[in-house]
Amino acid sequence: MHTRRIGEVEVGAVGLGAMPMSIEGRPDEARSLATLHAALDAGVTLIDTADAYHVGADEVGHNETLIARALASHDRGGDVLVATKGGHLRPGDGSWTLDGSPGHLKRACEASLRRLGVEAIGLYQFHRPDPRVPYAESVGAVRELLDEGKIRMAGISNAGPEQIRQAGEILGGRLVSVQNQFSPAFRSSEPELELCGELGIAFLPYSPFGGIARAGELALDHAPFARIARRHGVSAHQVCLAWMLARSPVVVPIPGASRPESVRDSVAAAGLALSAEDVAELDAV
């Protein structure tokens, strides 16, 4: 697979979002492990997770534990950059809550270290701003984790341009990634994508196919995505990822998957070359 960079680490141009394997509607563990192993076989070297990817309140970190098991049982497991996140919580009633306090982030990081079975987390990202906590305090906790060697690289998620600049300053120029939602139907993160390109920071689009939103699926099924897919003899999902990769060299999509065939289809997008006319047509959708 073609590669891109997150900080000083080279990763496959298409990563894997592991959330679907742990939240509501998740597959059984055997299929999840098969999906993760298929990703490794296909050359995926970036897997995105979070401690909040679980269902019940008694299984915090379900996704991290699953990933650790998959990596330990595959001969390429040591080649993977695992990106996890802290600051989001799931009480177990289906809701998502926030805790961006420094104390919580430090405890969450320690727990993620234990579940992943590593001495230092490859990439740790502050999951989502907490309006009750000054952003500088939350990112300051991430900086301390970086300084202490608990994490090797630092990133932020669900951030706006000013928060990206602020985080970069607080981290002393060591901000390596921004993970925001971005898809054909959800393009409000265009300013963040452009800023990351200017700053040389990796932009990790999550829910690149629209997630569970019906609008995202319609966007892919609709021309010109479907038309260009037919022209190249590939899926509309591959066209979507190839379009994102063509937007900027800092983009590393992390499409979610819960089936081996979905992973293999996504990874193939790294080798799909769209023409300038294709990209312009998709930009205009």
Per-residue pLDDT tens for 76-122?
Answer: 999 999 999 999 999 999 999 999 999 999 999 999 999 999 999 99
Looking at residue 20, what DSSP letter applies? G
Pairing of strands 123-126, 154-157: parallel
Q: Which helix (H) or strand (E) holds 136?
A: helix 135-147
Q: In this predicted structure, what is the pLDDT of residue 218?
A: 54
Lowest-confidence range among 48-57, 128-137, 213-222? Answer: 213-222
Q: In this predicted structure, what is the pLDDT of residue 1?
A: 85
Is 124 considered catalytic here?
no
Q: In this predicted structure, what is the pLDDT of residue 215?
A: 45
Residue in 53, 124, 135, 206 annotated catalytic: 53
107: CB partners within 8 A, 6+ apart: none
Confidence of residue 212 (pLDDT cuts 50, 70, 90): very low
pLDDT over threshold 80, residue 47: yes
Per-residue pLDDT tens for 234-279?
Answer: 999 999 999 999 999 999 999 999 999 999 999 999 999 999 999 9
Lowest-confidence range among 98-107, 209-218, 219-228, 249-258? Answer: 209-218
Strand ranges (DSSP E) for the chain?
A: 3-6, 9-12, 16-17, 46-48, 81-86, 88-89, 97-98, 123-126, 154-157, 175-181, 202-206
Neighbours of 162 (CB within 10 A): 10
Distance separating alpha carbons of residues 183 and 240, to the nearest angstrom: 8
Q: What are phi and psi of 252, to 5 degrees?
A: -135, 95
What average pLDDT score do residues 157-170 get? 98
Task: Tell me the pTM.
Answer: 0.95
Closest CA to 194 of 246, 243, 250: 250
Pairing of strands 9-12, 3-6: antiparallel
Closest CA to 173 of 9, 7, 4: 7
pLDDT over threshold 50, residue 177: yes
Q: In this predicted structure, what is the pLDDT of residue 214?
A: 47
Confidence of residue 216 (pLDDT cuts 50, 70, 90): low
pLDDT over threshold 50, residue 11: yes
Q: In this predicted structure, what is the pLDDT of residue 211?
A: 58
The residues with which 22 forms a beta bridge, in sequence order, are: none
pLDDT over threshold 90, residue 176: yes
Q: pLDDT > 70: what percent of the chain?
A: 96
Distance separating alpha carbons of residues 105 and 109, to the nearest angstrom: 6
**Over the chain, what is the mean pLDDT?**
95
What average pLDDT score do residues 146-165 get? 98
Q: In this predicted structure, what is the pLDDT of residue 285?
A: 82
pLDDT over threshold 90, residue 223: no
